[in-house]
Structure 1
Amino acid sequence: MRHVDRRYVVTLTLLATATAILVLAQAELLASVLSTGAGLVLLIATIAARALLVWAGRVVTQREAASVKADLRKHLLRNSSGPTGELTTLVVKGLDAIEPYLAGYLPQLVVSVAVPLAVLARLSFADWGSALTIALTLPLIPVFAALVGMHTRDRTRRQWSAMAAVGGHFLDVVQGLSTLRLFGRAEAQARTVRAMAAAHADETIRTLRVAFLSALVLELVATLSVALVAVPVGLRLLHGGVTLQVALLVLLLAPEAYLPLRAAGAQFHASAEGLAVLEQAMKTTRPKPLAIQRRSPDLRRSSITFDHVEIHYPNRAEPALTDFNLQVAPGERVALIGPSGAGKSSLLAALLGEVHPSSGRILIADTDLRELDRTEWLRQLAWVPQRPTLFPGTVAENIALGAPEANVQAAAQAVGLNDLVDTDHPLSSGERQRVAVARAIARDSARMLLLDEPTSRLDNRTEETVLRATREWTRGRTALVVAHRPALLTEVDRVVELR
Structure 2
Amino acid sequence: MRRFLLAMVGCGVVISGCAIGSAIVLAHIVSQVITEPSTRSVGHWSPLLATLALLWAVRTLAHWLQARLGQRGATTVIAELSGRVLGAVTARSPGQLATERDAAATVVTRGLDGLRPYFTAYLPALVLAVVLTPVTVLVIAGYDRQAAVLVVITLPLIPVFMVLIGLATADRSTAALSAMTTLQARLLDLIAGIPTLRALGRADGPQQRIAELSDAQRRSTMATLRIAFLSSLVLELLATLSVAVVAVSIGLRLVFGEMSLTAGLTVLLLLPDVYWPLRRIGVEFHAAEEGRAAAEQAFALIGEPAAPTGDRTVTARGAAIHLDQLRVAGRDGDAPAGLTARIEPGQVTVLTGVNGAGKSTTLAALAGLAAPTSGQVTVAGVSVTALDLPAWWAQLSWLPQRPALVPGTVADNLALFGELTDFGAASAAAGFEEVLAELPDGLQTQLGRGGVGLSLGQRQRLGLARTLGSAAPVLLLDEPTAHLDAATEQRVLRALVTRARSGATIVVVGHRPAVLAIGDQVITVRSERPAPCAHC
Instruction: Using structure 1 for the length normalisation, give the TM-score.
Output: 0.82
2:173, 2:293 within 8 Å by CA — same for their partners in 1?
A: yes
Counterpart of 1:434 in structure 2 is 461
Paired residue type of 1:149: G
* Equivalent residue, structure 2, for 1:413: 428
Verify the 8 A CA contact 1:330 1:478 in the aligned structure 2: no
C-alpha distance in 2, partners of 1:353/1:193?
A: 38
SS at match of 2:205: helix
Q: Matches of 1:348 and 1:162 in 2, distance apart?
A: 36
| 8 A contact 1:392–1:424 mirrored in 2 | no
State the alpha-carbon separation in 1 of the partners of residues 395 and 143 from structure 2: 79
Name the residue aligned to 2:38: none
Moved more, 65-74 or 234-243: 65-74
Distance 2:382 2:179 in 1: 40
Contact (CA 8 Å) 1:334, 1:496: kept in 2 or not? no
Equivalent position of 1:79 in the other structure? 88
Aligned to 1:70: 79
Q: CA deviation at 1:18?
A: 0.8
Give the Å deviation of 1:421. Answer: 5.9
**Letter paired with 1:381:** L
CA 1:241–1:274 in 2, change beyond 3 Å: closer, same or farther? same
CA contact (8 A) 1:449 1:474 kept: no
Aligned to 1:168: 185
Q: Relative to 1, partners in 2 of residues 1:213 and 1:455: Cα closer, same or farther, differing over 3 Å? A: farther
Cα deviation for residue 271 of structure 1 reads 0.4
Q: CA RMSD in A?
A: 3.6
Take 1:463 and 1:212, find their aligned partners in 2: how far apart are those partners?
66
Cα distance, 1:383 vs structure 2: 2.5
Range that drifts further, 366-375 or 123-132? 366-375
| 1:71–1:447 CA distance, 2 compared to 1 (3 A) | same
Deviation at 1:128, TM superposition (A): 0.9
Partner of 2:321: 301
Q: How many angstroms does 1:438 deviate by?
A: 1.9
Q: Which residue type is aligned with residue 64 of structure 1?
A: G
Change (3 A) 1:390 1:99: closer
1:438-472 deviations in whole A, cap 9, x for unaligned? 21233342424142x65665567656665665677
Provide Cα deviations, 1:181-210, integer angstroms capped at 9, x if missing partner. Answer: 344554333433333222211211111122
Select 2:291's aligned residue among 234, 258, 274: 274
1:382 correspondence with 2:397:
yes
Question: Per-residue deviation at 1:400?
Answer: 5.4
Specify whether residues 13 and 403 from structure 1 end up closer, same or farther in structure 2 by C-alpha distance, changes over 3 A only: closer
Identify if the C-alpha distance between structure 1 residues 371 and 301 changes in structure 2 by more than 3 Å, giving closer, same or farther. Answer: closer
Q: Which amino acid aligns with 2:341?
A: A
Give the corresponding residue for 1:36. 32
Residue identity opposite 2:469 in structure 1: A
Distance 1:80 1:322 in 2: 24
Amino acid corresponding to residue 424 of structure 1 in structure 2: L
**Post-superposition CA distance 1:398-445 (Å, at most 9, x none):** 545545463222221222123456832546222122111221233342
Write out aligned runs for 1:151-190 (5 A): 151-190=168-207
Shift of 1:14: 0.7
Aligned pairs (5 A) from 1:6-17: 6-17=2-13
Q: 1:61 to 1:54 in 2, by over 3 A?
A: same
Q: Report if aligned partners of 1:300, 1:330 keep a CA contact under 8 Å in 2.
A: yes
Question: Would you say 1:88 and 2:109 are equivalent positions?
Answer: no
> For the residues of structure 1 that align with 2:342 and 2:390, how far apart are their CA atoms?
21
Equivalent in the alignment of 1:313: none
Q: Which runs of 5+ in 1 are unaligned?
A: 311-319
Please tell me whether the aligned partners of residues 390 and 398 of structure 1 are also in contact (alpha carbons under 8 angstroms): yes
**Aligned partners of 1:346, 1:204: CA distance in 2, in Å?**
41
Counterpart AA for 2:465: A
Q: CA deviation at 1:487?
A: 8.9
Distance 1:97 1:487 in 2: 55
1:116-151 per-position Cα deviation (integer Å, ceiling 9, x unaligned): 111111011111111112122212212221121122
SS in 2 for 1:294: coil
Aligned residue type for 1:76: V
Paired AA for residue 289 in structure 1: A
Q: Deviations over 1:90-129 (max 9, x none)?
A: 2222221111112221121111110111111101111111
> Residue 447 and residue 352 in structure 1: after superposition, are their counterparts in 2 closer, same or farther (change >3 A)?
closer
The answer as to whether partners of 2:510 and 2:516 remain within 8 angstroms in 1 is no
TM-score, normalised to structure 2, is: 0.77
Cα pair distance change 1:417/1:448, threshold 3 Å? closer
Change (3 A) 1:90 1:296: farther
> In structure 1, what residue type is equivalent to 2:524?
R
Picking from 21, 25, 36, the partner of 1:25 is 21
Match of residue 129 from structure 2: 112
Contact 1:400 1:408 in 2 (8 A): no
Partner of 2:450: none
Please state whether the residue corresponding to 2:313 is helix, strand or coil.
coil
Q: What code does the residue aligned with 1:410 have?
A: A
Q: 2: distance between equivalents of 1:387 and 1:454?
A: 10
Judge conservation of contact 1:97–1:274 (CA < 8 Å) in 2.
yes
Quickly say closer, same or farther: Cα 1:344–1:225, change in 2 above 3 A. farther
* Distance in 2 separating the partners of 1:200 and 1:448: 47
Counterparts in 2 of 1:350 and 1:127: CA distance versus 1, 3 Å: farther
Indicate the residue corresponding to 2:264 in structure 1.
Answer: 247
The answer to whether the Cα contact below 8 Å between 2:140 and 2:148 also exists between their aligned partners in 1 is yes
Pick one of 306, 323, 328 that aligns with 1:288. Answer: 306
* Structure 2 unaligned residues grouped into runs of 5+: 34-44, 91-96, 344-348, 446-452, 530-536
Whether the aligned pair in 2 keeps the contact of 1:388 and 1:433 (CA below 8 Å) is no
> What is the aligned counterpart of 1:424 among 440, 443, 449?
443
**CA distance 1:194–1:239, change in 2 (3 Å):** same
Partner of residue 494 from structure 1, selected from 524, 528, 533: 524
SS in 2 for 1:382: strand
1:302 Cα deviation after fit: 2.2
Aligned pairs for 1:445-460 (under 5 A) are 445-451=472-478, 458=484
Q: CA deviation at 1:169?
A: 2.8
Task: Give, in whole Å, the separation in 1 of the partners of 2:419 and 2:385.
Answer: 28
Q: CA 1:335 to 1:233, structure 2 compared with 1: closer, same or farther past 3 Å?
A: farther
Shift of 1:275: 0.6
In the TM superposition, residue 346 of structure 1 has moved relative to its aligned partner by 8.1
| Distance (Å, rounded) in 1 between the aligned partners of 2:366 and 2:186 | 25
| Separation in 2, partners of 1:237, 1:47 | 28
Equivalent pairs, count: 479
Q: SS at 1:58's partner residue?
A: helix
Aligned runs of 1:108-257 on 2, under 5 Å?
108-257=125-274
Aligned to 2:277: 260
Q: CA deviation at 1:172?
A: 2.8
Kindly tell me: are residues 182 and 344 of structure 1, through their superposed partners in 2, closer, same or farther at Cα, counting changes over 3 Å?
farther
- Which of 24, 27, 45 aligns to 2:54? It is 45
Whole-angstrom CA distance in 1 between matches of 2:358 and 2:4 = 44
